[in-house]
Amino acid sequence: MISDYLEGDIETFVNYFEVGFKDYITKNTFYFEISESKDDRIALYNFLISYKGYFITFNGVHYDNVVLAYFIKEFNRKLNRLSSLELTKELKRFSNLVIFDDHEATKWYKWYKHSWTNIDLFLYWARSLRITKKISLKSLGIQLNHPRVQ
């Protein structure tokens, strides 16, 4: 049983896509992977359209949610018919559009109404502090001496 509070993050590469979760209450972790060796796309889609709890992220509003909205909205239209490698390339292509703020290409996904409630920790930080200190998730991990930063 999954609680109503999940921490989450996505990773996107041309040959690998992963959505990982950690249950805030039980501390259990689980993930959905799409790669040449594993294809959890159907399980991921079903999870994303049915989860109704809180999704705790760092920059989820402006990145994770947009990419996941693209995955959900385009799943039945085209993504479910692609090979796993074609799918990871397509998700990476869209991820880059989000990163480089291509508003015309991403605007239809930014306001998608997810079934979950997002708690974006990045938005709770003072905007000016983030900008002046150039704080990102990776730099924060390094500053906190996290044992593994990718």
Q: What is the pLDDT of residue 73?
A: 97
Helix pair 103-110, 84-99: axis angle to 10 deg? 100
- Rounded Cα distance between 9 and 59, Å, is 9
pTM: 0.82
3-state DSSP call for residue 92?
Answer: helix
* Residues 56/71, Cβ–Cβ less than 8 Å: no
3-state DSSP call for residue 65?
Answer: helix
Q: What is the pLDDT of residue 144?
A: 64
Amino acid letter, 54:
Y
- Rounded Cα distance between 142 and 74, Å, is 35
* Residues 4/53, Cβ–Cβ less than 8 Å: yes
Q: What is the pLDDT of residue 82?
A: 98
pLDDT tens, residue order, the chain (150 aa): 788 889 999 999 999 999 999 998 999 999 999 999 999 999 999 999 999 999 988 888 889 999 999 999 999 999 999 999 999 999 999 999 999 989 899 999 998 999 999 888 777 665 556 566 666 666 666 666 667 766
Distance of CA 47 to the CA centre of its chain: 13
3-state DSSP call for residue 54?
Answer: strand
